[in-house]
Chains A and B, each alone.
Chain A
Amino acid sequence: MKDKQLSVSAIKEGTVIDHVPAGVLFKVVSILKLDKVGTMITIGNNLESKKLGHKGIIKISKVFFEDNEINKIALVAPSAKLNIIREYEVVEKKVVTIPDEIVGIVKCVNPKCITNNEKVTTRFDVVSKPEVRLRCHYCEKITDRDNIEIL
């Protein structure tokens, strides 16, 4: 049986974030602060996917992200693919890449770190991109992918 109906309806203009692993979809929503976006957003999660098993998809109308903004989601969803939509057509496809430095998104895993005890913006150097290992600029401890908690 072929079911060609889209689970999440198309948008006219904007950004589609596809191939988001189902478990991190809402982390992506929070990293991009989509709760503060006023335009139409449709979200599908736990959709069947040949590549990921289950995936999530986010369609954001009339919003186009800067690369440094959208690349932040590579921390939790390195497999995510972006489609830029104009007049219902995909005009550009992008993948996400982890930036060299992460400022203010991730919580340091070390409870004795100054950033967890005083009002300080967190900062990390990305020491390994494939494994997602972040070294705290302050306490020098490593926060790895399994321990990433989004602020």
Chain B
Amino acid sequence: MKNKNLVSITDFSKEEYLRILELAAEFEMKPRQDILRGYVISTLFFEPSTRTRLSFETAINGLGGRVIGFTDSGATSTAKGETLYDTIKMVSNYADLIVMRHPLEGSAKLASEISSVPIVNAGDGANQHPTQTLLDMYSIQKTQGTLDGLKIFMVGDLKYGRTVHSLLMAMSRFNTTFYFISPEELMLPAVYKLHLDKMGLEYHEGKDLAEFLPEADIIYMTRVQQERFTDPIEYERVKNAYVLRRNMLEGTRETMKVLHPLPRVNEIHTDVDDSPHAYYFQQARNGVFVRMAILSAILGVK
């Protein structure tokens, strides 16, 4: 993986995913290692994303690396009209690796063609966010002991949710059975169902969240956003149907975990938080170890 870009979840092979997850587990055991001493990593956040940026910077600092970068392009020469091309050309002179977040789709791919150092995509608009997918996989593997043959429920906005699409693509390599629970307006796009058909995987679609929950190994919740609805009355009608409450978790498998990419608004009721099934805050913590693994694998220090 040395010097590879991580722009899209399809950039890494199944073996490479598994290697990242293995390294992440090592970092979880020993999260302070001085292996990035002397390295400079640039975090270019052309749009703000506090959670993702802090996770990356925590990972870099934990391994003894240095961070240069910006947190909002408003304060940079981008605001003066500098092109992405020029910004990346310039920064790749300074840093050993660039982590970037950008509102436009395809920006990280373009940057990877311009840059002389590896690019790690920390989100390009609604397109890709591969480090989120890897941390979701790590969380699944850690809590279930395996990635193979699991029953994964995806709930909420399955139409626009990029984390859902990437996780689906990645987990489709592990003989997963999927359950897609969403309102009519936010159903999974046909292209992903075609992909699952092609892979010969079983999947179910439904509107009722409670119905199949006892089957689940993982419930992956996402937010149903009002702005996705053309009809506000329709939103009012469905908004509470996709809220997970503690009483719904009765009768589910003991090992079942609830994941969420965060930020949560109200789709997981706070009464779930102290349930043994809640895993979304640990999931965010896992993000640091997974990012340590990605950075050290690409820089070739592991």
Contacts and interface: CB of A to CB of B under 8 A. Distances in A.
Interface in A89-134: 110, 112-115, 117-120
A141 interface: yes
Given A114-B110, A118-B110, A138 B105 contact: yes
B128 A114 contact: no
B104 A114 contact: yes
Contact of A138 (B83, B85, B103, B106): B106
Interface string A15-35: 000000000000000000000
B116 to A, nearest CB: 18
A110 B124 CA distance: 13
B105 A113 contact: yes
A136 interface: yes
Contacts, number: 49
B107 interface: yes
A149 interface: no
B83 A114 contact: no
Interface residues of B, number: 18
A119 B83 CA distance: 9
Contact of A114 (B8, B107, B126, B191): B107
B105 A137 contact: no
Contacts of A119: 83, 85
Nearest to A138: B106
Contacts of A113: 104-106
Contacts of B85: 118-119
Contacts of B124: 114, 139
Contacts of B127: 139-140
B109 interface: yes
Interface of B: 8, 83-85, 102-107, 109-110, 124-128, 191
Given A112-B105, A114-B110, A139-B105, 20 more contacts: A112-B103, A112-B104, A112-B125, A112-B126, A113-B105, A114-B84, A114-B102, A114-B104, A114-B106, A114-B107, A114-B124, A115-B106, A118-B84, A118-B85, A137-B109, A138-B105, A139-B106, A139-B125, A140-B105, A140-B128
